[in-house]
Amino acid sequence: MLQSAATLQELVPDAVLVRGSAAVSYVGHRHSTDHDHILSDLSDQFDVVLEALESQKGWITNRTVAHKLILGELGDIETGVRQLRRKSPLEVAEFELSNGQRLRVPTPDETLRIKAYLVVARNKTRDYLDVAALSAWMGEERAARVLSLLDVFYEDQHGDGDGVASQVAVQLADPRPSDPSNTKNLRHYKRLHHHWQEWGHVREVCAEVADLMVASRGGS
């Protein structure tokens, strides 16, 4: 999957791998069968990007939303390119795959921010899993410090004035994903590492991060 992602980035040089695949590239806690990428200027370069992708042998375009989204398949692997939705640029790291290809991903802190934002925006089991795994990998205290500053990067999703960081802390304190059937079947979900196959453990890590976020914000 990562080699397919690197091939896409060769076609679209400014693309950055995001979402679950980025988290997996650091932690390796679950299986990921697709890859999503973000572009800061897809709105301006939409036609150029689409032409570059469609010039690649093995590319199939499945769906487009002009200036916002391109979904398709590259070598039978589902992929997508999306417009960056926030104003500040991503913090990006680059590493070399075993075959020599280069892959651009968000830094660990940035990957955690993106996944925490998706906890609020999407609220899926995999979002809580990725936040928990990343937090345990980097340390819950560091994760809490990173997430306490989310309002610098993302706008309030609920419009209640509390900010994204507060929304994330509330949802991590008591995870209730919109696909609860998956939380009951983690042993058969995305080839999860055995360490994360108990939903109770995922909840414990998420709640610990939430408590530390509240403490770091002065208990507010």
Tell me which of 23-27, 36-40, 52-56, 201-205 is least confident. 23-27
What confidence score (pLDDT) does residue 79 get?
96
Tell me what the pLDDT averaged over the chain comes to.
93
* Mean pLDDT of the region 1-17: 95
pLDDT one-digit tens code per residue, 120-175: 999 999 999 999 999 999 999 999 999 999 999 987 655 566 799 999 999 999 99
Structure tokens at 174: 């008591």
pLDDT one-digit tens code per residue, 195-220: 999 999 999 999 999 999 999 876 54
Distance, CA of 192 to chain centre:
17
* Model confidence, pTM: 0.90
- CB count within 10 Å of CB 20 equals 24
Share of the chain above pLDDT 90, in %: 82
What confidence score (pLDDT) does residue 220 get?
47
3-state SS, 73-133, equals EECCEEEEEEECCCCCCCCEEEEECCCCCEEEEECHHHHHHHHHHHHHHCCCHHHHHHHHH
pLDDT tops 90 at residue 31: no
Please check whether residue 41 is in contact with residue 56, taking contact to mean a CB–CB distance below 8 angstroms. Answer: no
Where do the CATH 3.30.460.40 domains begin and end in the chain?
2-106
| Cα-based distances in Å from 178 to 120, 127, 181 | 11, 11, 9
Considering only residues 176 and 88, tell me which one the structure prediction assigns the higher pLDDT: 176
pLDDT one-digit tens code per residue, 62-76: 999 999 999 999 989
The fold of 2-106 is Beta Polymerase; domain 2 (3.30.460)
pLDDT one-digit tens code per residue, 182-194: 999 999 998 899 9
